[in-house]
Amino acid sequence: MKGIIIAGGLGTRLRPLTYHRPKPLVPVANRPFLEYQVAHLRKYGIDDIVFATNYMAEQIEAHFGDGSRFGVRMRYAIEEEPLGTGGAIRNAAELFPGETVVVFNGDVLTDFDIEAVLTFHMQKQASATIFLSEVPSPHPFGVLILDDDGMVREWREPSEETKQTLALDQDIVPTGKDLINAGFYVLSPRCIERIPRGVRSSIERDIYPQLIAERAGVYGIAPGGFWMDVGRAEQLLLATQAVLMGQVRTAVPGLSVGEGTTIAPSTWINGLTAIGRHCRIGEDSRLENCIIMDNVLIGNRVRLTGVIVDSEAVIEDEVVVAGRGAGATPVIAGGSVLGRGTRLHL
Protein backbone atom coordinates (compact mmCIF):
# COMPACT_ATOMS: atom_id res chain seq x y z
CA MET A 1 0.00 0.00 0.00
CA LYS A 2 1.21 3.49 -0.89
CA GLY A 3 0.83 6.77 0.98
CA ILE A 4 0.51 10.42 0.01
CA ILE A 5 0.80 13.28 2.50
CA ILE A 6 -0.43 16.68 1.30
CA ALA A 7 2.10 19.08 2.79
CA GLY A 8 2.13 22.12 0.53
CA GLY A 9 -0.02 24.68 2.34
CA LEU A 10 1.21 28.14 3.33
CA GLY A 11 0.12 27.73 6.95
CA THR A 12 -1.33 31.24 7.11
CA ARG A 13 -3.41 30.47 10.22
CA LEU A 14 -0.25 29.49 12.10
CA ARG A 15 1.72 32.64 11.34
CA PRO A 16 4.18 33.84 12.61
CA LEU A 17 5.31 30.23 13.25
CA THR A 18 5.25 29.50 9.51
CA TYR A 19 7.18 32.51 8.25
CA HIS A 20 10.45 30.58 8.47
CA ARG A 21 9.31 26.94 8.38
CA PRO A 22 6.59 25.04 6.51
CA LYS A 23 3.52 24.17 8.56
CA PRO A 24 4.20 20.39 8.52
CA LEU A 25 7.54 20.98 10.29
CA VAL A 26 6.08 23.04 13.15
CA PRO A 27 6.95 21.00 16.25
CA VAL A 28 4.39 19.19 18.37
CA ALA A 29 5.93 18.01 21.66
CA ASN A 30 9.37 18.60 20.16
CA ARG A 31 8.84 16.55 17.00
CA PRO A 32 8.12 18.03 13.58
CA PHE A 33 4.43 17.38 13.05
CA LEU A 34 4.93 15.27 9.92
CA GLU A 35 6.95 12.72 11.86
CA TYR A 36 3.76 11.61 13.63
CA GLN A 37 1.98 11.05 10.32
CA VAL A 38 4.90 9.19 8.75
CA ALA A 39 5.19 6.93 11.80
CA HIS A 40 1.43 6.29 11.77
CA LEU A 41 1.48 5.21 8.13
CA ARG A 42 4.52 3.00 8.73
CA LYS A 43 2.73 1.35 11.68
CA TYR A 44 0.20 -0.03 9.19
CA GLY A 45 2.77 -1.16 6.65
CA ILE A 46 2.53 1.90 4.43
CA ASP A 47 6.22 2.56 3.92
CA ASP A 48 6.36 4.00 0.39
CA ILE A 49 5.32 7.64 0.84
CA VAL A 50 5.19 10.73 -1.35
CA PHE A 51 5.00 14.24 0.06
CA ALA A 52 2.96 16.60 -2.12
CA THR A 53 4.84 19.81 -1.40
CA ASN A 54 5.12 23.41 -2.51
CA TYR A 55 5.78 26.01 0.21
CA MET A 56 9.35 25.69 1.57
CA ALA A 57 9.54 22.20 0.06
CA GLU A 58 13.32 22.18 0.39
CA GLN A 59 13.05 22.23 4.20
CA ILE A 60 10.78 19.18 4.21
CA GLU A 61 13.12 17.28 1.89
CA ALA A 62 16.17 18.31 3.93
CA HIS A 63 14.55 16.91 7.09
CA PHE A 64 13.23 13.61 5.74
CA GLY A 65 15.67 12.90 2.90
CA ASP A 66 15.06 9.50 1.33
CA GLY A 67 13.11 8.40 4.42
CA SER A 68 15.53 5.67 5.49
CA ARG A 69 16.07 7.34 8.87
CA PHE A 70 12.33 6.90 9.50
CA GLY A 71 12.03 3.36 8.13
CA VAL A 72 10.25 4.34 4.93
CA ARG A 73 10.95 5.21 1.31
CA MET A 74 10.29 8.92 0.84
CA ARG A 75 9.74 10.77 -2.43
CA TYR A 76 8.59 14.27 -3.28
CA ALA A 77 6.05 15.60 -5.77
CA ILE A 78 6.83 19.31 -5.88
CA GLU A 79 4.27 21.67 -7.38
CA GLU A 80 5.62 24.65 -9.29
CA GLU A 81 2.31 26.38 -8.56
CA PRO A 82 -0.17 25.28 -5.86
CA LEU A 83 -2.56 22.70 -7.35
CA GLY A 84 -5.12 22.43 -4.55
CA THR A 85 -5.92 19.14 -2.82
CA GLY A 86 -7.13 17.42 -5.99
CA GLY A 87 -4.27 18.52 -8.20
CA ALA A 88 -1.72 17.72 -5.49
CA ILE A 89 -3.06 14.18 -5.11
CA ARG A 90 -3.00 13.57 -8.87
CA ASN A 91 0.50 14.99 -9.16
CA ALA A 92 1.79 12.74 -6.36
CA ALA A 93 -0.11 9.67 -7.57
CA GLU A 94 1.83 9.82 -10.85
CA LEU A 95 4.61 8.12 -8.87
CA PHE A 96 2.21 5.23 -8.06
CA PRO A 97 0.54 4.42 -11.40
CA GLY A 98 -2.37 2.01 -11.06
CA GLU A 99 -2.06 1.81 -7.26
CA THR A 100 -4.57 2.34 -4.48
CA VAL A 101 -3.26 5.06 -2.13
CA VAL A 102 -3.89 6.29 1.39
CA VAL A 103 -3.95 10.11 1.49
CA PHE A 104 -3.31 12.23 4.58
CA ASN A 105 -3.81 15.96 4.87
CA GLY A 106 -0.63 17.23 6.49
CA ASP A 107 -2.26 19.21 9.32
CA VAL A 108 -4.26 16.57 11.22
CA LEU A 109 -3.19 14.58 14.29
CA THR A 110 -4.88 11.19 14.64
CA ASP A 111 -4.55 7.58 15.74
CA PHE A 112 -7.25 6.22 13.39
CA ASP A 113 -7.16 2.48 12.67
CA ILE A 114 -6.05 2.54 9.03
CA GLU A 115 -6.29 -1.26 8.68
CA ALA A 116 -10.00 -1.21 9.55
CA VAL A 117 -10.64 1.46 6.92
CA LEU A 118 -8.65 -0.42 4.25
CA THR A 119 -10.67 -3.57 4.99
CA PHE A 120 -13.91 -1.60 4.65
CA HIS A 121 -12.68 -0.04 1.38
CA MET A 122 -11.92 -3.44 -0.13
CA GLN A 123 -15.18 -5.00 1.06
CA LYS A 124 -17.19 -2.22 -0.56
CA GLN A 125 -14.99 -2.19 -3.69
CA ALA A 126 -15.09 1.55 -3.22
CA SER A 127 -13.84 4.17 -5.60
CA ALA A 128 -12.99 6.34 -2.58
CA THR A 129 -13.35 5.88 1.16
CA ILE A 130 -13.33 8.93 3.38
CA PHE A 131 -12.29 8.77 7.03
CA LEU A 132 -14.94 10.49 9.16
CA SER A 133 -14.89 11.98 12.64
CA GLU A 134 -17.83 13.00 14.83
CA VAL A 135 -17.70 16.59 16.08
CA PRO A 136 -20.13 19.03 17.70
CA SER A 137 -22.01 21.30 15.28
CA PRO A 138 -21.81 24.01 14.08
CA HIS A 139 -18.18 23.82 12.91
CA PRO A 140 -15.99 24.81 9.93
CA PHE A 141 -15.72 21.31 8.40
CA GLY A 142 -17.38 19.52 5.49
CA VAL A 143 -20.33 17.36 6.61
CA LEU A 144 -21.11 13.98 5.00
CA ILE A 145 -24.52 12.31 4.88
CA LEU A 146 -24.40 8.50 4.45
CA ASP A 147 -26.94 5.88 3.47
CA ASP A 148 -27.39 2.68 5.48
CA ASP A 149 -24.60 0.97 3.54
CA GLY A 150 -22.06 3.71 4.25
CA MET A 151 -22.18 5.25 0.77
CA VAL A 152 -22.02 9.05 0.74
CA ARG A 153 -25.33 10.55 -0.39
CA GLU A 154 -24.43 14.20 0.16
CA TRP A 155 -21.39 16.37 0.88
CA ARG A 156 -22.03 19.73 2.50
CA GLU A 157 -18.85 21.79 2.27
CA PRO A 158 -19.00 25.26 3.92
CA SER A 159 -17.62 28.29 2.14
CA GLU A 160 -14.18 29.59 3.08
CA GLU A 161 -15.84 32.64 4.67
CA THR A 162 -18.04 30.39 6.81
CA LYS A 163 -15.05 28.26 7.80
CA GLN A 164 -13.10 31.29 8.96
CA THR A 165 -16.04 32.73 10.90
CA LEU A 166 -16.75 29.48 12.74
CA ALA A 167 -13.07 28.78 13.39
CA LEU A 168 -12.63 32.16 15.09
CA ASP A 169 -15.81 32.06 17.18
CA GLN A 170 -14.95 30.27 20.43
CA ASP A 171 -18.32 30.91 22.05
CA ILE A 172 -20.58 28.88 19.75
CA VAL A 173 -22.97 26.63 21.68
CA PRO A 174 -23.07 23.08 20.23
CA THR A 175 -26.46 22.13 18.81
CA GLY A 176 -25.79 18.54 17.76
CA LYS A 177 -23.24 16.16 16.20
CA ASP A 178 -22.06 15.77 12.62
CA LEU A 179 -19.86 13.34 10.74
CA ILE A 180 -17.16 15.41 9.09
CA ASN A 181 -14.46 14.84 6.53
CA ALA A 182 -11.39 14.05 8.65
CA GLY A 183 -8.92 14.77 5.84
CA PHE A 184 -7.85 11.15 5.17
CA TYR A 185 -8.81 9.09 2.14
CA VAL A 186 -8.31 5.73 0.52
CA LEU A 187 -8.43 6.29 -3.24
CA SER A 188 -8.61 3.64 -5.92
CA PRO A 189 -7.01 4.18 -9.36
CA ARG A 190 -10.40 4.87 -10.95
CA CYS A 191 -10.95 7.74 -8.51
CA ILE A 192 -7.50 9.21 -9.14
CA GLU A 193 -8.09 9.08 -12.89
CA ARG A 194 -11.06 11.43 -12.44
CA ILE A 195 -8.77 14.18 -11.16
CA PRO A 196 -7.45 16.39 -13.99
CA ARG A 197 -3.69 16.22 -14.41
CA GLY A 198 -1.74 19.46 -13.87
CA VAL A 199 -4.86 21.52 -13.12
CA ARG A 200 -5.69 23.22 -9.82
CA SER A 201 -8.68 21.49 -8.23
CA SER A 202 -10.22 20.71 -4.86
CA ILE A 203 -11.00 17.06 -4.23
CA GLU A 204 -13.65 18.20 -1.74
CA ARG A 205 -15.42 20.71 -3.98
CA ASP A 206 -14.67 19.51 -7.51
CA ILE A 207 -14.10 15.74 -7.51
CA TYR A 208 -16.14 14.15 -4.74
CA PRO A 209 -19.41 15.98 -5.60
CA GLN A 210 -19.24 14.62 -9.15
CA LEU A 211 -18.60 11.06 -7.98
CA ILE A 212 -21.32 11.29 -5.33
CA ALA A 213 -23.86 12.58 -7.86
CA GLU A 214 -23.02 9.60 -10.09
CA ARG A 215 -23.26 7.16 -7.16
CA ALA A 216 -19.77 6.10 -8.18
CA GLY A 217 -18.76 4.30 -5.00
CA VAL A 218 -17.74 7.05 -2.56
CA TYR A 219 -18.03 5.66 0.98
CA GLY A 220 -17.46 7.03 4.46
CA ILE A 221 -16.47 5.35 7.70
CA ALA A 222 -15.86 6.66 11.22
CA PRO A 223 -13.16 4.40 12.69
CA GLY A 224 -13.16 6.15 16.06
CA GLY A 225 -10.09 7.32 17.90
CA PHE A 226 -8.37 10.66 18.34
CA TRP A 227 -8.66 13.37 15.68
CA MET A 228 -7.60 17.02 15.74
CA ASP A 229 -7.08 19.66 13.08
CA VAL A 230 -3.82 21.47 13.88
CA GLY A 231 -4.25 24.60 11.79
CA ARG A 232 -4.23 27.36 14.41
CA ALA A 233 -2.03 28.27 17.37
CA GLU A 234 -4.59 27.24 19.98
CA GLN A 235 -4.97 23.86 18.24
CA LEU A 236 -1.19 23.43 18.20
CA LEU A 237 -1.18 23.98 21.95
CA LEU A 238 -3.97 21.42 22.44
CA ALA A 239 -2.25 18.90 20.15
CA THR A 240 0.97 19.22 22.13
CA GLN A 241 -0.91 18.62 25.37
CA ALA A 242 -2.72 15.61 23.86
CA VAL A 243 0.62 14.01 22.95
CA LEU A 244 2.17 14.76 26.35
CA MET A 245 -0.88 13.34 28.18
CA GLY A 246 -1.10 10.25 25.97
CA GLN A 247 -4.57 11.13 24.69
CA VAL A 248 -3.46 10.23 21.17
CA ARG A 249 -1.71 6.91 20.58
CA THR A 250 1.26 8.13 18.57
CA ALA A 251 3.68 5.64 17.01
CA VAL A 252 6.58 7.82 18.16
CA PRO A 253 6.79 9.48 21.59
CA GLY A 254 6.70 13.20 22.14
CA LEU A 255 9.29 14.91 24.31
CA SER A 256 8.63 17.31 27.18
CA VAL A 257 12.13 18.83 27.20
CA GLY A 258 14.65 18.89 24.36
CA GLU A 259 18.34 18.10 24.66
CA GLY A 260 20.75 20.76 25.90
CA THR A 261 18.10 22.70 27.83
CA THR A 262 18.83 23.94 31.35
CA ILE A 263 16.13 24.89 33.87
CA ALA A 264 16.84 26.53 37.22
CA PRO A 265 15.82 24.32 40.18
CA SER A 266 13.58 27.03 41.61
CA THR A 267 11.48 27.30 38.44
CA TRP A 268 8.07 25.55 38.25
CA ILE A 269 6.85 24.01 34.98
CA ASN A 270 3.66 21.98 34.65
CA GLY A 271 3.39 18.72 32.74
CA LEU A 272 1.48 20.25 29.83
CA THR A 273 4.41 22.45 28.78
CA ALA A 274 6.86 21.43 26.04
CA ILE A 275 10.31 23.02 25.97
CA GLY A 276 12.64 22.71 22.99
CA ARG A 277 16.37 22.21 22.64
CA HIS A 278 19.12 24.43 24.03
CA CYS A 279 16.83 26.70 26.02
CA ARG A 280 17.81 28.49 29.21
CA ILE A 281 15.22 29.17 31.89
CA GLY A 282 16.16 31.28 34.92
CA GLU A 283 15.30 31.31 38.61
CA ASP A 284 11.83 31.48 40.19
CA SER A 285 9.96 31.43 36.89
CA ARG A 286 6.63 29.70 36.24
CA LEU A 287 5.53 28.17 32.93
CA GLU A 288 2.07 26.67 32.57
CA ASN A 289 0.49 25.14 29.42
CA CYS A 290 3.12 26.61 27.09
CA ILE A 291 5.17 25.69 24.03
CA ILE A 292 8.74 26.94 24.17
CA MET A 293 10.64 26.20 20.96
CA ASP A 294 14.41 25.85 20.43
CA ASN A 295 17.09 28.28 21.65
CA VAL A 296 14.78 30.43 23.77
CA LEU A 297 16.20 32.42 26.69
CA ILE A 298 13.84 33.01 29.61
CA GLY A 299 14.97 35.13 32.54
CA ASN A 300 14.22 35.16 36.24
CA ARG A 301 10.75 35.54 37.81
CA VAL A 302 9.00 35.16 34.43
CA ARG A 303 5.33 34.07 34.30
CA LEU A 304 4.05 32.48 31.08
CA THR A 305 0.59 30.91 30.79
CA GLY A 306 -0.95 29.47 27.62
CA VAL A 307 1.74 30.99 25.39
CA ILE A 308 3.74 29.80 22.37
CA VAL A 309 7.29 31.19 22.19
CA ASP A 310 9.04 30.62 18.85
CA SER A 311 12.74 29.85 18.43
CA GLU A 312 15.49 32.35 19.31
CA ALA A 313 13.17 34.60 21.36
CA VAL A 314 14.43 36.30 24.50
CA ILE A 315 12.10 36.79 27.49
CA GLU A 316 13.83 39.06 30.01
CA ASP A 317 13.36 39.11 33.79
CA GLU A 318 9.93 39.64 35.37
CA VAL A 319 7.96 39.39 32.14
CA VAL A 320 4.34 38.21 32.43
CA VAL A 321 2.40 36.91 29.42
CA ALA A 322 -0.95 35.26 30.07
CA GLY A 323 -3.36 33.82 27.53
CA ARG A 324 -6.97 33.71 28.57
CA GLY A 325 -7.43 29.99 27.87
CA ALA A 326 -10.06 30.54 25.17
CA GLY A 327 -9.82 32.31 21.86
CA ALA A 328 -6.56 33.19 20.16
CA THR A 329 -3.36 31.87 21.77
CA PRO A 330 -0.56 34.43 22.25
CA VAL A 331 2.45 33.73 20.02
CA ILE A 332 5.83 35.36 20.58
CA ALA A 333 7.51 35.47 17.18
CA GLY A 334 10.93 33.96 16.64
CA GLY A 335 13.79 36.34 17.45
CA SER A 336 11.57 38.68 19.48
CA VAL A 337 12.78 40.32 22.68
CA LEU A 338 10.34 41.05 25.51
CA GLY A 339 12.03 43.60 27.76
CA ARG A 340 12.22 43.37 31.50
CA GLY A 341 8.90 43.84 33.28
CA THR A 342 6.68 43.54 30.18
CA ARG A 343 3.07 42.64 31.10
CA LEU A 344 0.69 41.15 28.51
CA HIS A 345 -2.69 39.73 29.54
CA LEU A 346 -4.46 38.52 26.42
Domain segments of the chain as ranges = 2-239, 262-345
**CA distance readout (Å), 21 to 10, 62, 135, 268, 330:** 10, 12, 30, 30, 19
**Rounded distance, CA 50 to CA 141, Å?**
25
Mean pLDDT across 284-313: 96
**Rounded distance, CA 200 to CA 80, Å?**
11
The DSSP line for 10-56 is --GGGTTTTSSS-GGGSEETTEEHHHHHHHHHHHTT--EEEEEE-TT
pLDDT at 60 over 70: yes
Q: Is 169 exposed, middle or buried (0-12, 13-18, 19+ CB in 10 A)?
A: exposed
Which stretches of 151-258 are assigned E, i.e. beta strand?
Answer: 152-156, 176-187, 218-221, 227-229
Phi, psi of 288 (to 5 degrees): -135, 125
In this structure, the number of other CB atoms found within 10 A of the CB of residue 98 comes to 9
* CA count, 13 A, side-chain hemisphere, 25: 20
Phi, psi of 12 (to 5 degrees): -65, -35
Q: What's residue 159's pLDDT?
A: 64
- pLDDT tier at 218, thresholds 50, 70, 90: very high
Q: What is the pLDDT of residues 323-332, one digit of tens each?
A: 876 667 899 9
Q: What's residue 277's pLDDT?
A: 96
- pLDDT tier at 57, thresholds 50, 70, 90: confident
pLDDT at 180 over 90: no
Please provide the CATH number assigned to the domain covering 2-239: 3.90.550.10
Mean pLDDT across 46-75: 91
pLDDT at 32 over 80: yes
pLDDT at 289 over 80: yes
**Rounded distance, CA 58 to CA 60, Å?**
5
**Rounded distance, CA 293 to CA 202, Å?**
34
Q: What is the pLDDT of residues 233-261, one digit of tens each?
A: 889 999 999 999 999 998 888 889 999 99
Phi, psi of 58 (to 5 degrees): -65, -30
Bigger pLDDT: 198 or 42? Answer: 42
- pLDDT tier at 284, thresholds 50, 70, 90: very high
Q: What's residue 137's pLDDT?
A: 66
Q: What's residue 267's pLDDT?
A: 96
Mean pLDDT across 153-178: 66
Q: What's residue 47's pLDDT?
A: 93
3-state helix, strand, coil in the chain (%, to 5): 25, 30, 45
Q: What's residue 46's pLDDT?
A: 94
Report the mean per-residue pLDDT for the chain.
89
Q: What is the pLDDT of residues 106-159, one digit of tens each?
A: 888 999 999 999 999 999 999 999 999 887 765 667 788 888 888 999 887 766
pLDDT at 40 over 70: yes
Q: What's residue 172's pLDDT?
A: 60
CB 42 within 8 A of CB 72: yes
pLDDT at 171 over 70: no
- pLDDT tier at 276, thresholds 50, 70, 90: very high
Q: What is the DSSP letter of 151?
A: B
Mean pLDDT across 72-92: 89
Q: Which of 3-12, 16-25, 223-232, 287-296 has the lowest mean pLDDT?
A: 3-12
- pLDDT tier at 270, thresholds 50, 70, 90: very high
CATH topology of domain 262-345: UDP N-Acetylglucosamine Acyltransferase; domain 1 (2.160.10)
Which stretches of 82-233 are assigned E, i.e. beta strand?
Answer: 101-105, 108-110, 128-137, 143-146, 152-156, 176-187, 218-221, 227-229
pLDDT above 70 covers what percent of the chain? 92
